[in-house]
């Protein structure tokens, strides 16, 4: 699950001037005619660097994203929910596996990626730095955070880099189960007892602000990178993605009789844009830089997991092993 967020904040494009102009022109022509870039193709340094960053962060978002829902994996109510949640959280781990493999084709090792996550050097989707207090919080994530991720992933699946597109095709197929499952859970809470309805309303009140942060800072304050759009690395602006999400899901939330905690939220029909209270981008910055409710815990859980598994991996390593970049 990944919302893009602040992946492309603060990038510098000066390296483009140092690239071979003929190769660069051929590279851009290939993208313009819709042909995918594969691992052994020539590519500009900036393209490689930004793709690694984006795909790696997407991978980290998946493995960290497994934790807020994983909080409820032992407590899912009933067989249907229990088995579904086990499969869903497993899928998040599976998506991390697919994405790290795609990023590896660009030359960064999985070891380095995992180290960079745990040390705090690499980022992940900020929404996972918040706590899932109740079963309904878990359902919010399963439905609406997944929904947001799908908006982003469907856009990115049309990007230029072959391995990332192939990974996303697989991921989008699995996400369709996640989304339907999440919506199913919320429909049952909505149509259930007063306690169940209130549980979800409370969760919605808590999670709406981080959800509005999910697609990253608003266009008017985020860095514009025309070259990344031209190279089909960034597939849409943050506000575009956010509006798409609101279009698709606000009506569904309202349909269930829930109140979204933003009195300004409404669709401006003429401009075909949603109006809403401007999210607190200072809070977003604070949390993504380490000061959120769960940042320390999320990374500590990953650090412990890697430490605990060290003896297993060490035991099975052999001098015959050699690292070769994955092919596709």
Partner 1 sequence: MKSLDPRVGRLPEIGEPGIIKPKVTLDQFGSFEVFVQPKEGRSFQHEGVVHAPNLELAYILAKETFTRRNTCFSVYVVETRDVFVSPLTDGTTNAYDLISDVASTGILTYEIYHLAKRGKQHVHAGQVSAGSPEEAMSEAKKKFNSKTIYNVWAIEVAKIRMTSSEEMDYWTTLPEKKFRDAADYKGGDKLKTFLEKSK
Partner 2 sequence: MKDLPLKELLYKMADDLLILGHRNSEWTGFGPLLEEDIAFSSMAQDKVGQSLALYTILHELGEQAPDTVAFTRNANQFHNCVLVELPNQEYDFSLIRHFLFDTADSLRWESLTKSSYIPLAQLASKVKGELRYHTLHANTWIKQLGSATEESISRLQNSLNIELPYALGIFEESIYEKEIIESGVFPGEKILKAKWELKITEVISQTQLQLPNLDSITPKIGGRIGKHSEHLQPMLDEMSEVFRIDPTAEW
CA distance 159 to 55: 12
Residue 24 in contact with partner 1, rule: CB under 8 A? no
Q: How many helices and strands in the chain, by DSSP H and E?
A: 12, 2
Q: Give alpha helix (H) positions in 38-161.
A: 45-70, 79-104, 110-118, 135-140, 146-156
Q: Which residues pair with 268 in a beta bridge?
A: 273
Q: Which stretch binds partner 1 (CB under 8 A): 115-123, 211-219, 229-237, 239-247?
A: 115-123
**82 vs 273, which CB is nearer to partner 1?**
82
* Among residues 155, 177, 209, 247, the one that binds partner 1 under rule CB under 8 A: 177
In the bound state with partner 1, the residue whose beta carbon lies nearer, of 139 and 274, is: 139
Binds partner 2 (CB under 8 A): choice among 100, 140, 161, 284: 100
Rounded Cα gap, residues 325 and 22, in angstroms: 27
Q: Is 74 or 268 the residue whose CB approaches partner 2 more closely?
A: 74
* Interaction of residue 170 with partner 2, rule CB under 8 A: no
Nearest approach, Cβ of residue 99 and partner 1 (Å): 11
Sorted by sequence, the CB contacts under 8 Å of residue 132 that are 6+ apart come out as 68, 69, 71, 72, 138, 141
**Nearer Cβ to partner 1 (181/215):** 181
Restricted to residues 252-281, the positions that interact with partner 1 (CB under 8 A) are 255-257
Which of 11, 16, 73, 154 is the binder for partner 1 (CB under 8 A)? Answer: 73
- Residue 60 or 242 having the CB closest to partner 1: 60
Provide the 3-class DSSP secondary structure of residue 258. Answer: coil
Let me know: does 9 contact 217? Beta carbons within 8 Å.
yes
Does 282 bind partner 1 (CB under 8 A)? Our answer is: no
User: Computed over its alpha carbons, how large is the radius of gyration of the chain?
Assistant: 20
Positions in 36-95 near partner 2 (CB under 8 A):
63, 66-67, 70, 72-79, 81-83, 86-87, 89-90, 92-94
């Amino acid at each position: 699950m990944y919302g893009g967020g602040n992946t492309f904040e603060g990038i510098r494009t000066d390296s483009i001037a140092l690239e071979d102009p003929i190769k660069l022109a051929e590279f851009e022509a290939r993208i313009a005619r819709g042909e995918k870039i594969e691992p052994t193709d020539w590519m500009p340094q900036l393209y490689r660097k930004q793709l690694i960053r984006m795909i790696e962060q997407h991978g980290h978002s998946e493995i960290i994203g497994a934790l807020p829902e994983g909080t409820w994996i032992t407590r899912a109510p009933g067989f249907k929910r229990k088995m579904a949640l086990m499969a869903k959280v497993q899928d998040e781990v599976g998506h991390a596996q697919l994405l790290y493999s795609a990023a590896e084709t660009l030359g960064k090792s999985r070891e380095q990626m995992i180290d960079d996550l745990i040390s705090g050097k690499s980022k992940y989707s900020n929404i996972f730095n918040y706590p899932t207090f109740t079963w309904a919080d878990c359902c919010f994530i399963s439905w609406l955070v997944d929904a947001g991720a799908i908006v982003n992933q469907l856009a990115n699946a049309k990007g230029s880099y072959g391995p990332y597109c192939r990974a996303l095709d697989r991921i989008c197929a699995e996400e369709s189960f996640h989304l339907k499952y999440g919506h199913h859970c919320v429909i049952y809470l909505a149509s259930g007892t007063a306690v169940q309805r209130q549980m979800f309303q409370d969760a919605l009140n808590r999670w709406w602000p981080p959800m509005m942060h999910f697609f990253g800072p608003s266009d008017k304050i985020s860095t514009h990178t025309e070259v990344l759009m031209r190279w089909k690395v960034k597939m849409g602006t943050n506000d575009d993605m956010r509006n798409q999400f609101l279009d698709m899901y606000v009506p569904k939330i309202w349909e269930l009789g829930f109140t979204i905690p933003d009195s300004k939220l409404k669709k401006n029909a003429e401009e075909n844009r949603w109006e809403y209270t401007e999210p607190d981008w200072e809070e977003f910055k604070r949390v993504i830089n380490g000061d959120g409710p769960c940042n320390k815990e999320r990374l500590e859980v990953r650090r412990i997991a890697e430490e605990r598994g060290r003896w297993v991996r060490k035991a099975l390593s052999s001098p015959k092993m050699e690292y070769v970049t994955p092919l596709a």
